[in-house]
Amino acid sequence: MTRGRLATLKVLTALLCLAPLAWVVLRALGVASWSLGANPVEELLNTFGKTALNLLMITLAVTPVRRLTKLNWLVGLRRMLGLFCFTYLVLHFSTYALLDLGLAWDTLLVDITERPYITVGFAALVLMVPLAITSTNGFQRRLGRKWVKLHRLIYPIAVLGVVHYYWQVKADTSEPLFYAFGLLVLFGLRIKHWLGVRAKRRALVDSKPAMATAYQSIEPPQAGDEPRHHGHHESRGHPTQR
């Protein structure tokens, strides 16, 4: 994968990520007699919320898919996917606060503190803020291993997101359960990988105790979760590249 090709892929990914937003904007403007239907606020809430959840799942799928396919350049798209996920999350919350509640702060406060599905949804949004802020190369470099640990927050965020969806539906839980199943698969693949890594280390410890210490100091704690592994430019100064 050349840098030029990766750039093209990034542009294509960005366009795909923007498509749901473009589609609701066209409908909101009534272009070509499209419309947001009888309940436009609900339509916006659903579109933004579901797109955020979809992008979260795709972001979480990058690492296991990369491990399975060896397509290492996929990691180069992950930051963008995560940031678009955050963008849709902010749009989802803004639609709720601005259009649905009309910025009634008292109601907003009551909702966040007393309605469990809103509490968990809001928690997911708040937890994602530090991830978005520290998504830059500079923060990655400065935070080092702490960056990897911090960005593991994405796992509880994903759980909160699916719970938020599950608690919000009236009776038909099939879609939230589908997302929950997807999350289980994604988590399962990671657990399988970590167990594999641990077993390998154990084997090393048993056979060559001296080497194992060296191995552990070289190997990053979760190899697959490193922010980037490719491209001479982007990996420069990466804390775990020693």
Q: Where does this chain bind another protein (CB under 8 A)?
A: 28, 36-42, 44, 99-102, 107, 110-111, 115-117, 167-168, 170-172, 174
Distant-in-sequence contacts of 73-77, Cβ < 8 A, 24+ apart = 73/1, 73/6, 73/9, 73/230, 75/226, 75/227, 75/228, 75/229, 75/230, 76/1, 76/6, 76/9, 76/10, 76/228, 76/230, 76/231, 76/234, 77/9, 77/10, 77/13
CB of 113 to another protein, least distance (A): 12
CB of 107 to another protein, least distance (A): 7
CB of 59 to another protein, least distance (A): 27
CB of 53 to another protein, least distance (A): 17
**Residue listed under structure tokens 């959840």:** 53
Residues 6+ apart with CB under 8 A from 104: none
**Residue listed under structure tokens 């799928």:** 61
Comparing CA positions, the residue from 165, 35, 46 lying closest to residue 99 is: 46
CB of 104 to another protein, least distance (A): 8
Q: Which is nearer to another protein, 171 or 210 (CB)?
A: 171
As given in the structure block, the two tokens for residue 136 are 């830059």
Q: Which is nearer to another protein, 7 or 41 (CB)?
A: 41
Q: Which is nearer to another protein, 98 or 126 (CB)?
A: 98
Q: Which is nearer to another protein, 39 or 213 (CB)?
A: 39
Q: Which is nearer to another protein, 115 or 230 (CB)?
A: 115
